[in-house]
Amino acid sequence: MSWRRLIGFNLLTAILLGIGGYYLGWWLGHQVTGPSLDYFGDTDQNDIALFMGYAFGVIGFLIGMGFLQYPLARLRGYPASLREKESEGIGRYLGLCTDHKVVGLQYLFGVGLFFFIAGLNAMLIRFELLRPTPVFNSGNYLTLVGLHGTMMMGMMTSAVLGPFANYFVPIMIGARRMAFPRIESLTFWLLMAAGGILVTTVFFGGFPTGWTGYEPLNDQANMGMDAYIMFFALVGVSMCLLGLNMLATVITMRAPGMTWSRLPIFVWGVVSTSILNLLAPPVLIAALAMSLMDRTAQTTYYLQSGGGSQYLYENLFWFFGHPEVYILALPGFGILLELLPVFSRKPLWGYRLAVSGMLGVTLLSFLVWQHHLFFSGINSSLRPFYMLSTELISIPTGLTFLCGLMTIWRGSIRFTVPMLFALAWFFNFLVGGLSGFFNSDTPSDTTEHGSFYVMAHFHYTIMGGLIFTFFAAIYYWLPKMTGLELNERLGKIHFWSMFIAFNSTFMPLFAVGLLGQPRRVVTYDPSLQWLNDWVSVSAFVLGLSMLLFLYNLVYSLLFARVRAERNPWGSLSIEWQLPSPVPVQNFDRIPVFENDPYGYGDGAGPVARPVGVPAGGS
């Protein structure tokens, strides 16, 4: 590669402009506030300068990526191409690219990187908890906890929607691209910029609030907190745009014959998640904007001493926060129900019921947020309502169980690696869901709230529900995305080590919590040491199983390089009728759909006609 290719709109330029923008904003911030800092008496920190640094840094980063090219070209009257960097070799992965398949792979590796960093944080947290007396200093430990939680909750919202929905939703509905290809790329690079900003918190002393960022601790914290606020606000923008783009794509760009009742169930999972993605994050952004004002402009939205209320933040945050956890769970439902028919050789059972289950979860998830505030001191007469609404969510969630179980019932089940990961969902989400029933029951929750019990509960639902299906999706779809097979033996070892270590890690934490260990503590009661040690050792094994996956990925994609067949799983879905990897234009002609993709065993045949003859050759 010639050095000349480094010049232009790409990741390198973006990073350089991002750093430049940061220092420009930092300098401007000091110009704005310089003398008045002494007035406020806290010269050790300048939140305004840091916020302006981050904001200008992000703008510089996006300019370097080339996001201004299109609007500027249009302003000057040039027609702009939709096909930026659609066929430029490896370089297109490091820049603004409007090919949804490139964005999908960018997301997979980008989100994977942050999953890895946040996972390392988890390992350090468990290392600290090996013994009841502290190893790290308290502030560093809280920063580790906060980084782990915030990064996982922020970046993993796009763990499925980013890689798999961007890559496969257009193909599944018979489109050549997303509705807004440039916004599609923007969501990814905003997410990466946000992740970079969050990591910089360590240069400013970290932040002590965990992923919830509760006020007034948020206001009290030092400059590391600004990174949290900026991170979550940018993630919110990214999520919102991602949801908008997905909804617009599915609503407007379906091929002929792709009726709503033929939509693959994975796309329904994406649609329901996207509704949440569109509606929940704006509330978070508003809440964080007020946090920002409190920290910089000395307002008192959340400060009781100035006439504000910390309850405002708690309510706004959880009004976003509870849909957020369903943003994490729902794509898992979609992947589960998408994979079960393929590996059971049986149509999806109860399609309409499964769809209504997902939409029911979507609707109800906006009505439950105060169960996070059962003991916070807000009006207690509303408590029975939130107990009821929370427990009602188990009805639509139960429909996913019913449809899943009845799909494998009397099937012909093949235990491939993706199927194993999908089947693990049943066990993990059963434990997660039923333990959640105890949480929703206010009397029982009195003891569980704020303890390791809750931590175990949501790791069962999010890690057990989302991450297991995330890996199922990787093992299932990566051969299509890269054209290369993943090693199956390593995959099976990965599955079993991960499944056993996962349960061995989180099952004892229910007991740890009930026995009186609150979340996010750096020390704990010495009588709980053996349980904590058990958990820590299991967590390290869980970490090793992730390394095994990483080894499999590197080995299979870089060294073994076994070409994948066009349709190794015998799936009827349309993406498997296309060459691997999928050509740039997806189809040479837009397909006409005649069935849903679940016609296993009834001789319905392929899903669409004519099914993509390669456009760019294979």
Q: How far apart are CA 574 and CA 563, in angstroms?
A: 20
411 contacts another protein (rule: CB under 8 A): yes
What is the per-residue binding string for another protein in 276-295, x denoting contact by CB under 8 A? ------------------xx
At closest approach, how far in Å is the CB of 410 from another protein?
Answer: 4
Output 2 or 379, the one with its CB closest to another protein: 379
CA 293 to chain centre: 27
Name which position in 516, 526, 605, 610 contacts another protein (CB under 8 A): 516
Name which position in 68, 202, 248, 413 contacts another protein (CB under 8 A): 413
Cα four-point dihedral sign 38, 44, 49, 51? negative
Q: Which stretch binds another protein (CB under 8 A): 61-69, 306-314, 536-544, 585-593?
A: 306-314
Positions 598 through 617 that interact with another protein (CB under 8 A) = 598-602
394 contacts another protein (rule: CB under 8 A): yes
At closest approach, how far in Å is the CB of 162 from another protein?
Answer: 29
At closest approach, how far in Å is the CB of 121 from another protein?
Answer: 16
368 contacts another protein (rule: CB under 8 A): no
414 contacts another protein (rule: CB under 8 A): yes
347 contacts another protein (rule: CB under 8 A): yes
What is the per-residue binding string for another protein in 138-177, x denoting contact by CB under 8 A? xx-xx-----------------------------------
Q: Which stretch binds another protein (CB under 8 A): 6-14, 30-38, 440-448, 541-549?
A: 440-448
Closest to 166 in 3D by CA, of 229, 88, 108: 108
Name which position in 192, 522, 539, 542 contacts another protein (CB under 8 A): 522
Contact status, residue 257 vs residue 608, Cβ threshold 8 Å: yes
DSSP state of 157: G
At closest approach, how far in Å is the CB of 22 from another protein?
Answer: 21
Q: How far apart are CA 583 and CA 378, in angstroms?
A: 56
**Residue located via tokens 């965990």:** 210
At closest approach, how far in Å is the CB of 364 from another protein?
Answer: 12
Q: Which stretch binds another protein (CB under 8 A): 178-186, 238-246, 433-441, 471-479?
A: 433-441
381 contacts another protein (rule: CB under 8 A): yes
DSSP state of 560: I
How many residues of this chain bind another protein (CB under 8 A)?
Answer: 101
Record the tokens describing residue 77, joined without a space: 């009257």
Per the rule left: phi > 0, alpha: psi between -120 and 50, beta: everything else, 419 is alpha
DSSP state of 593: E
> 390-396 — which CB contacts under 8 Å span 24+ positions?
390/439, 390/440, 391/437, 391/440, 391/441, 392/364, 393/360, 393/361, 393/364, 393/365, 393/368, 394/433, 394/436, 394/437, 395/360, 396/356, 396/357, 396/358, 396/359, 396/360, 396/361, 396/364
At closest approach, how far in Å is the CB of 336 from another protein?
Answer: 13
Positions 40 through 69 that interact with another protein (CB under 8 A) = 42, 47
Instruction: Burial-class residue 189 by CB neighbours within 10 Å (0-12, 13-18, 19+).
Output: buried
Q: Which stretch binds another protein (CB under 8 A): 102-110, 455-463, 521-529, 586-594?
A: 521-529
Record the tokens describing residue 324, joined without a space: 């957020």
At closest approach, how far in Å is the CB of 392 from another protein?
Answer: 6
Record the tokens describing residue 180, joined without a space: 């807004």
Instruction: Burial-class residue 545 by CB neighbours within 10 Å (0-12, 13-18, 19+).
Output: buried
Measure CA of the first residue to CA of the last residue in the chain; give whole Å: 24
- The β-bridge partners of 593 are 608
At closest approach, how far in Å is the CB of 139 from another protein?
Answer: 6
In angstroms, the Cα distances linking 79 to 65, 72, 75, 82, 352 are: 20, 11, 10, 10, 44
At closest approach, how far in Å is the CB of 598 from another protein?
Answer: 8
Output 20 or 139, the one with its CB closest to another protein: 139
Name which position in 28, 30, 124, 442 contacts another protein (CB under 8 A): 442
Name which position in 524, 576, 587, 593 contacts another protein (CB under 8 A): 524
What is the per-residue binding string for another protein in 528-567, x denoting contact by CB under 8 A? ----------------------------------------
32 contacts another protein (rule: CB under 8 A): no
Between vectors from CA 272 to CA 266 and to CA 276, what angle results, nearest 5°?
140
Name which position in 217, 247, 484, 548 contacts another protein (CB under 8 A): 217
618 contacts another protein (rule: CB under 8 A): no
Tell me how long the chain is: 618
At closest approach, how far in Å is the CB of 306 from another protein?
Answer: 7
At closest approach, how far in Å is the CB of 536 from another protein?
Answer: 16
Positions 65 through 124 that interact with another protein (CB under 8 A) = none
For the beta carbon of residue 606, count every other beta carbon within 10 angstroms.
18
130 contacts another protein (rule: CB under 8 A): no
Closest to 240 in 3D by CA, of 230, 248, 229, 250: 248
Q: Which stretch binds another protein (CB under 8 A): 19-27, 69-77, 242-250, 340-348?
A: 340-348
350 contacts another protein (rule: CB under 8 A): yes
376 contacts another protein (rule: CB under 8 A): yes
384 contacts another protein (rule: CB under 8 A): yes
Record the tokens describing residue 458, joined without a space: 């949501």
Contact status, residue 451 vs residue 515, Cβ threshold 8 Å: no
Contact status, residue 197 vs residue 234, Cβ threshold 8 Å: yes
Output 176 or 346, the one with its CB closest to another protein: 346
